[in-house]
A = this chain, B = another copy of it.
């Protein structure tokens, strides 16, 4: 049994709990929290809640610690610190800061003789590895990543900060025609506006100036100004009823040519349709916890990414069975 610890019990941590239950070779041992451990309401009978201050005392009882904090402030500090004490997996997703995060985690994981796998999830994560596979297989080609239709937390938050807004939900939506042009192997060049649109569902205060709110959203630099944005004002009731989920998804598509005269075209597409973005991310993290456990047993220490992990290491199925049934 692989003994799992969870650090942070928000949406992602709760997803890990549910995911561990689906994996019979794993057992949840501890949920670490900054809150009062007695206040945590969780399901797993094998697990105990424990304050994060006591985490070091549990290090011999956990094979892999899955970090469920945020990339902005939690993981940059937690991952290097924890990698000295534990094998870890995190979902660090600030693309621009990944190289620095990798270096930080690598040196502490090597110091502590642990295996750390960072930036696990679907993007970064499964989408990244699909960009790698498709690029290696079709070197004379071009790849495209589309996100959505799905909820962007960052964009929803940005709308909520506007004066007069009570609540909001923002969906990122790929432009259907753009996707079709890519699938058809046309290898187009896109502006930001041509790839995605943004759909906003906004609850405004009574008497608020709706035209001003709409204009503030549509002209917000970085978040909305470069996109075709639609704004729908809805009641709080409607928002809760119709927009309470956190679905997401998207696709990585690469088209390329082969042959001495580049005479043949090929398209590789990987797509996801997810009811719950955090729960799916949790399931990817849990699978890579298995890889971290195995690599640590082999003495393969330091920081890894999804690019470095032999696919077989994330599966509970033996090599013989994989070859017999999946190959």
Contacts and interface: CB of A to CB of B under 8 A. Distances in A.
Contacts of A260: 17-18, 21, 43
B270 A258 contact: no
Interface in A69-128: 95, 98-99, 102, 119, 124, 126, 128
From A128, A284, A307, residue with most partner B Cβ within 10 Å: A307
Given A129-B311, A309-B310, A311-B129, A327 B271 contact: no
A242 interface: no
A312 interface: yes
B287 A137 contact: yes
Given A258-B15, A323-B99, A306 B311 contact: yes
A98 B268 contact: no
Interface stretch (A149-157, A161-169, A314-322): A314-322
Nearest to A276: B264
A320 B308 CA distance: 12
Nearest to A134: B126
A314 B136 contact: yes
Contacts of A316: 136, 139
A259 interface: yes
B272 A136 contact: no
Interface residues of A, number: 71
B310 A310 contact: yes
A158 B314 CA distance: 40
A138 B315 CA distance: 11
Interface string A269-296: 1111111100110111001001000000
Given A263-B275, A269-B269, 18 more contacts: A99-B323, A132-B315, A132-B322, A132-B326, A133-B314, A136-B290, A137-B280, A137-B283, A137-B314, A258-B279, A265-B275, A266-B272, A266-B275, A266-B276, A266-B280, A305-B323, A308-B319, A310-B310
26 contacts: A18-B258, A19-B258, A22-B258, A98-B323, A98-B327, A99-B323, A102-B323, A126-B133, A126-B268, A128-B326, A131-B326, A132-B315, A136-B287, A136-B315, A138-B283, A139-B283, A258-B282, A263-B275, A264-B276, A265-B275, A266-B275, A266-B279, A268-B270, A305-B323, A306-B327, A307-B326
Q: Which 6 A-B pairs have the closest CB atoms?
A: A264-B275, A307-B312, A264-B276, A258-B279, A136-B287, A267-B273
